[in-house]
Amino acid sequence: MIRARPSGLLLIAPLVCCTIVQTEDKTRAAKLAPAPILYDLLRAEADTATANDIQRDLSLKAYAKAEENLYSRIKISAHPKVLLEILGGVFFLDSKYLDSAIAFKKAEKEGVLTEGGRFTLAMSYIELKRNAWARDELVRLRKEKPAQPLYSYWLGRLYYDDQRFADAEVNFRQALSVDSQFIRAYDGLGLCEEAMGNMSAAEENYNRANMLNRQQEKRLAWPALDYGSMLRKAERYSEARALLNEALVIDPSLAKAYYELGKLEESLLNQEAAIKNFSTAASLDPNDPSPVYSLYRLYHQTGDTNRAATMFNRFRLLKQQAERNH
């Protein structure tokens, strides 16, 4: 599945400032932070008092109030395209992805979407697991804005999710042809090469991603995690541990890093340490069945039948929930 993560690249557009935020095996593809230009749009489309009210609601994350306010403006507007786009962005902030997509499609009937609006529509489609629709929007954006590497990067992510690793690689390389410092594209190439069994090439790209990442004022956790995960599977445990701990220094709430450390400790037969790391991973991401299943196995191996049964039942419920969501 898509793992949406910080790209270190901001797309400033008339609707929002889009920052890609990492999650594991989810399509929680982007979080949107209201950009100052959004408020300029509000003031252009609504009276000052209304614009200030909506601005305040967004700053307080009072999304329902902002939505209601925008609804009232849209109803009386002769040309509601911009307001519909803003509403679509607010719906996205509010995790109402279907409503977000509908608002953007209604706006499109009124005129051509802004670049930021179309990108947010693509992210909404990803959240709705409509990757083919998202791909269409991203292809259009790349055609219109070939100098923007973000769109090739996200196309690569979609192809990776579909296990079309060669196609993903092409798109990651296209992103790098535009921006040779694009950390997430190097990490994406590493993931593709690893999936295709090209471990030397994977390590080269992971190294490049981490080298660039360490030069940043605000580092990303996932390059270290992905490289550490590959090294853990290659039984290079000391190097893997260092990278996984580096990822946790950057983001102490990264559940996947604790899961990988649990797998590492389990391989070294450190059951107590493995259980501790798997438990932390399960606590940080309660919807991920992987650490729960690992806890079931370890409790079963150590003869703790009660805890093993609890973990197995929890794992079964999570798997059923995941199947329903698909």
Instruction: List the structure tokens of 303.
Output: 């003869």
Predicted pLDDT at 306: 97
The CA-based dihedral angle spanning residues 98, 104, 106, 110, taken in that order and rounded to the nearest 10 degrees = 180
**CA angle (252, 256, 260) in 5-degree steps:** 105
pLDDT bracket for residue 40 (50, 70, 90) = low
pLDDT at 41: 62
Nearest to 2 by CA among 23, 18, 31: 23
Q: How many CA atoms lie less than 13 Å away from 227 in the CB half-sphere?
A: 29
The helix/strand count (H/E) of the chain reads as: 17, 3
What integer pLDDT is reported at residue 8 of this predicted model? 29
Domains and CATH numbers, the chain: 253-326 (1.25.40.10)
Out of 48-52, 163-167, 189-193, which region has the weakest mean confidence (pLDDT)?
48-52
Residue 230 has a pLDDT of 98
Question: Considering the chain, what percentage of its residues have pLDDT values greater than 90?
Answer: 74
Spatial CA neighbour of 29 closest among 131, 173, 162:
131
Residues 204-218: tens digit of each pLDDT: 999 999 999 999 999
pLDDT for residue 31: 44
- For the ranges 85-94, 276-285, 298-307, the lowest mean pLDDT is seen at 85-94
Listed in sequence order, the residues at least 6 apart from 162 whose beta carbon sits closer than 8 Å to its beta carbon are 131
> What CA–CA distance (Å, rounded) separates 255 from 235?
21
Mean of pLDDT values over 142-147: 96
Give the pLDDT confidence score for residue 37 in this predicted structure. Answer: 52
C-alpha span between 304 and 309 (Å, rounded): 9
Whole-number Cα distances in Å, 226 to 87, 203, 275: 36, 10, 21
Tokens 């701990």 belong to which residue? 245
Residue-wise pLDDT tens digits, 250-270: 999 999 999 999 999 999 999
**Listed residue (106, 162, 104) closest to 131, CA to CA:** 162
Rounded CA separation 187/321 (Å): 30
Burial class of residue 61 in the structure, from the number of CB atoms within 10 Å of its CB (0-12 exposed, 13-18 middle, 19+ buried): exposed
In sequence order, what are the beta bridge partners of 31?
19
CA 131, 173, 223: angle at the middle one, nearest 5? 80
Lowest mean pLDDT among 65-74, 91-100, 141-150, 317-326: 317-326
Residue 135 binned pLDDT confidence (cut-offs 50, 70, 90): very high
Closest CA relative to residue 115, chosen from 265, 219, 11, 3: 11
Distant-in-sequence, close-in-space partners of 169: CB < 8 Å, separation ≥ 6:
156, 189, 192, 193, 196
On the question of pLDDT at 17 being above 90, the answer is no
Cβ contact 224:210 at 8 Å: yes
User: Average pLDDT in the 120-148 region?
Assistant: 95
CA 294 – CA 32 distance, rounded (Å)? 34
Give the closest residue to 120 by CA, choosing from 139, 140, 142, 137. Answer: 137
